[in-house]
Every structure is written in structure tokens, then in C-alpha cells.
Amino acid sequence: MGELETEAQKSRSEVAASLREVADQLDGDGDVTLELGETTVAMTPSEPITFKLEGESDWSEGDTEAKQSIEFELVWWREAHTADEGTLDIRE
């Protein structure tokens, strides 16, 4: 159980490097480790993985800018018979 999230402004190149790192880990057989600020979360994706990709634009009358975003979401299920078995592996 649980959710951790971080948000930071980065250059396009820094974002691409982060995505490549996750992709390389996902391509292997082990954990996918995410660095969220000073906290690390390790997850072990199982097959199959549902991949959600969304593009969005938000603009209102009178605005001088439109917010645009790309969202990636990966979802999988893991066996868990207790809350502890379903909890994120958080390392600080």
C-alpha cells in the first residue's frame, strides 16, 4: 500500500535520461528502482504490464498559455495475501 510522488523541473535531456534509465531497468528481470527526492522505491514488475499513454492540452478563454502534458502509467499485479506483502519497498 502507499504512494510516493515527486515533481521537479528538468531539461528535456534530463527527462529523457530518466526515462531511459527506467526503460533499461524494465527491460531486465529485476527490480525497477525509482529515486523520488531522497527516497528510493524498488518495485518488481510482473507480466503482463498495462501501458497507458496520454497526451493532454488545457487552455481556457483569456489564457495566454496552454498547459500540455504527456502521462505514462504502467500497471501490473503482484501476489499479496497481507497488507505488508502489498506495500511499496521504500528505502530512505
Q: What is the pLDDT of residues 10-58, one digit of tens each?
A: 999 999 999 999 999 999 989 999 988 888 999 999 999 999 999 999 9
In Å, how far from its chain's centre is CA 23?
11
Other CB atoms within 10 Å distance of the CB of residue 38: 7
Instruction: Identify the helix (H) or strand (E) that includes residue 73.
Output: strand 67-75
- Kindly state whether residue 69 falls inside one of the protein's structural domains: yes
- Kindly state whether residue 52 falls inside one of the protein's structural domains: yes
Q: What pTM value is reported for the model?
A: 0.82
- Kindly state whether residue 59 falls inside one of the protein's structural domains: yes
**More confident call, 37 vs 72:** 72
Domain count, the chain: 1
Kindly indicate the confidence band of residue 5, based on its pLDDT and cuts at 50, 70 and 90.
Answer: confident
Gap between the Cα atoms of 73 and 56, Å rounded: 14
Query: Residue 73 has what pLDDT?
Result: 95
Domain of residue 76 covers 12-91
**Radius of gyration of the chain measured on its C-alpha atoms:** 16
Task: Residue 77: name the closest of 52, 45, 51 by CA.
Answer: 45
Query: Residue 1 has what pLDDT?
Result: 57
